[in-house]
Copies of this chain bind each other. A is one copy, B any other.
Amino acid sequence: MELISENKVFGGVHKRFKHQSSTNNCEMTFAIFLPKSVNNDTKLPVLYWLSGLTCTDENFMQKAGVFKYASERGLVIVAPDTSPRGEDVADDENGSYDFGLGAGFYLNATQSPYSTHYNMYDYVTNELPKLIESNFLVSTKKSISGHSMGGHGALTIGLRNSLQYESISAFAPISNPTNCPWGIKAFSGYLGDDEASWAQYDATALLRQNTISRQIPIKIDQGADDAFLVDQLKPEALQNAAKNIGYNIEFQLHDGYDHSYFFISSFIEQHIEFHAKHLR
Residues of B within 8 A of A9 (CB): 262-263, 265-266
Candidates B10, B67, B262; contact of A7 at CB < 8 Å: B262
Residues of B within 8 A of A260 (CB): 7
CB atoms of A263 and B68 under 8 A apart:
no
CB distance from A67 to the nearest CB of B (A): 7
When A and B form their complex, which 5 residue pairs have the shortest distance between CB atoms, in order from nearest?
A: A65-B65, A9-B262, A7-B262, A8-B256, A10-B266
Which residue of chain B has its CB nearest to the CB of A68? B65
CB atoms of B62 and A7 under 8 A apart:
no
Interface centre among A9, A14, A225, A261 (most CB of B within 10 A): A9
New contact pairs (20) apart from A8-B258, A62-B261, CB-CB < 8 Å: A7-B258, A7-B260, A7-B262, A8-B223, A8-B225, A8-B257, A8-B263, A9-B262, A9-B263, A9-B265, A10-B265, A10-B266, A11-B266, A14-B262, A62-B63, A65-B65, A65-B68, A65-B265, A67-B265, A67-B266
Residues of B within 8 A of A8 (CB): 223, 225, 256-258, 262-263, 266
Residues of B within 8 A of A63 (CB): 62-63
Which residue of chain B has its CB nearest to the CB of A255? B8
Give the distance in Å from the alpha carbon of A223 to the alpha carbon of B7 in the complex.
11
Contact surface of A with B, Cβ cutoff 8 Å = 7-11, 14, 62-63, 65, 67-68, 223, 225, 256-258, 260-263, 265-266
Give the distance in Å from the alpha carbon of A99 to the alpha carbon of B17 in the complex.
32
Interface centre among A7, A67, A263 (most CB of B within 10 A): A7
Give the distance in Å from the alpha carbon of A196 to the alpha carbon of B9 in the complex.
40
Residues of B within 8 A of A68 (CB): 65
CB distance from A265 to the nearest CB of B (A): 7
Residues of B within 8 A of A261 (CB): 62
A-B contact pairs, 19 of them (CB 8 A): A7-B258, A7-B263, A8-B223, A8-B225, A8-B258, A8-B262, A8-B266, A9-B262, A9-B263, A10-B266, A11-B266, A62-B62, A62-B63, A62-B261, A65-B65, A65-B68, A65-B265, A67-B262, A67-B265
